[in-house]
Amino acid sequence: MTDPQATGIPDEVARALEALGIGAYLNDERGCILHVNTRAEQLLVRPVAELLGQDAHDVLHRTRHGETVPRAQCRMREAALTGRPAQGGEEWMERGDGSLLQIAWLATPFRTGDRRLNATLVLFHPFAQEQTPGEPQERVGASLSELERLALLAETTTTLSSTLDVDEAMDRLVNLVVPRLADWAVVDLITVRDEVRRFAVVHTENGVLVHREDLEGAMPPVPEDSPMPLSRALRGVASTLAGPETYQGPPDSGIAVEQRRLFEATGMHSAAIAPIRTVREVLGALTLGRSERPERFTAADIALLEDITRRAGLALDNARLYQRQRKVAETMQRHLLPQLPRVQGYAMTARYLPAPDASQVGGDWYDAFTLTDGAMAVVVGDVVGHDLDAAAGMAQLRNMLRAYAWSQEKPPSRIVEWLDRASLSIAEVSMATMVFARMTVAYDGHCELSWTNAGHPPPLLVSHEGVATYLTDGHGVLLGLEPEQEREDATALLPPGSTLVLYTDGLIESPGHSIDEGLERLRRTAASLAHRALDPFTDLLLERARAPHNDDDVAVLAVRIPA
């Protein structure tokens, strides 16, 4: 007999089971064995230590041929999941010596004294009647055939693994199960702060998936000791079958109140609830409900639902990991970029858009600062690469450029020459492109721009009248190729009211299109926005000129010369 002190079973319960004279064992809500009486030990020819803590279904339940019973077809497991009494006389158990024992059995819900633990008592004894060899085993009713179930699981894996967006993954999940398996689907998700949000309550109307937004939103916290089905699923304890009668008694928590409201509003008469989890944590729960079709959910449906939620848990975990990685990368990149100075005589704004792929942090950057002689320095550049090394190299290059430009009152070409030579030894940068310029306001209101270009797309000048031209002079090789080569300066006058746009190649490059097409699209877009204020000008330029399906980050620096 099991030691009741070791399992937490009250002594009086252990004594009562011992006095029955037939085999008896207790399962917890996961199906693991809590207690075995002496008669069960004798019938099964197994020591107690071999049974405690084991999944009763995996260890004991067999077909007449000695094969493990599929979980979807196990009547004893279904009885434990539904919490309703059940009995049978055509099941088999495997003994410790490898032989099979045909049994008659009864399973019923059982309270152990611990309100947090829902147990099932299984009573069994040998069944004398022999079963006709080859007679087909009874199959628990299910809404899908085995082939359809396998196809659904394959589709679930393919559909959910093809997105790294949490909202899209959950939308795809409910589309997979409604109306194929249920009339209703409810997704509850646990946030990073252990708060619960009812992400979706959906059903179909005239073949269209419709959200019940009045039932969605924030949920009460998960109680630690509630035995109610959704609370247990959100703690990762067990999958459960439920109905409106489950929540008819006095509610033990706010979640129970919301569940009663859910059943009343949707008209569900049967529901199956399973946790969405990974190996490390519980991410939420999926509830399937039936209100229009008359059949109730069974253990066969629970087994399928658990297979679906396992795949959903993996997809959701990957999506959340991706989003966290993307957030960290984007935050790091933005902190590396400078705050623009306020300089009398100029209006200035900048934008940075990260790459769609979170791993591609990128080396795109911009900068603007006042020099010792009062001129304004502006720069935009791109360190070759799409990773954290590129971002780190960008920060090093920017700081070195600031130091040279501040300490040396030299033309832009000389500053970039020194930077090119030093970057090979000091900065961890293999190659980079940039445009570095000095801006000086003349007495007549014009602004003189002198610049040098190291392999970067040319600056764009947009007049107040809407004439847009590229400043293609002063062009040289990118940094890191020929550090000893002398560079050239170019000079231009920027008329009052004009806008200077410096940008990185992510704004003009896209798969399947040439650079010339991107440059022309940018020029025409900028010209059409010439009369816009600087901030709307920059925002609309990014929105309209950036090519679709672009997988690169983008930096833009725009300077408006006062009229």
pLDDT in tens, the chain (563 residues): 555 545 567 777 788 788 777 889 998 888 899 999 998 998 998 898 899 999 999 999 988 878 888 888 888 888 777 777 888 877 889 988 788 888 888 888 876 555 556 788 888 888 764 444 443 333 333 456 666 777 788 888 888 888 888 889 999 999 999 998 999 999 999 987 779 999 999 998 888 899 999 999 999 999 988 889 999 999 998 898 999 999 988 888 999 999 999 999 999 999 999 999 988 889 999 999 999 988 998 877 888 899 999 999 998 888 888 777 767 666 666 666 677 887 777 899 999 887 665 445 567 889 999 999 889 999 999 887 655 566 667 778 888 999 999 998 899 999 999 999 887 777 666 788 999 999 997 766 678 999 999 999 999 999 999 999 999 999 999 988 887 889 999 999 999 999 999 999 989 988 878 899 999 999 999 999 999 999 999 999 999 998 776 777 899 999 999 87
Residue 319's pLDDT is: 85
0.85 cut: is pTM over it? no
Q: If DSSP codes are grouped into helix, strand and coil, which group holds residue 32?
A: strand
Is 246 within 8 Å of 269 (Cβ atoms)? no
What do you get for the CA distance between the two ends of the chain, in Å? 95
Say if strands 447-454 and 475-476 run parallel, antiparallel, or are unpaired.
parallel
Give the pLDDT confidence score for residue 153 in this predicted structure.
84
Distances (CA, A) of 543 to 382, 520, 540: 21, 15, 5
d(CA 323, CA 532): 34
Helix-helix angle 515-528:534-545, to 10 degrees: 150
Structure tokens at 443: 């007495």
Q: Where are the alpha helices (DSSP H) in 96-145?
A: none
Cα 368 from Cα 349, distance rounded (Å): 10
DSSP, collapsed to helix, strand or coil, labels residue 543 as helix
- Rounded alpha-carbon distances, angstroms, from residue 237 to 224, 284, 311: 11, 12, 18
Structure tokens, 223: 């109680």
CA distance 103 to 123: 10
DSSP helix/strand/coil, 138 = coil
- Residue partners of 137: CB distance under 8 A and separation at least 6: 63, 64, 73, 90
User: By CB neighbour count within 10 A (0-12 exposed, 13-18 middle, 19+ buried), where does 21 fall?
Assistant: exposed
DSSP labels, 231-286: HHHHTT---EEE-GGGG-S--SSHHHHHHHHHHHHH--SEEEEEEEE-SS-EEEEE
Domains of the chain: 4-126 (3.30.450.20), 146-326 (3.30.450.40), 337-560 (3.60.40.10)
Nearest to 56, CA basis, from 75, 78, 31, 74:
31
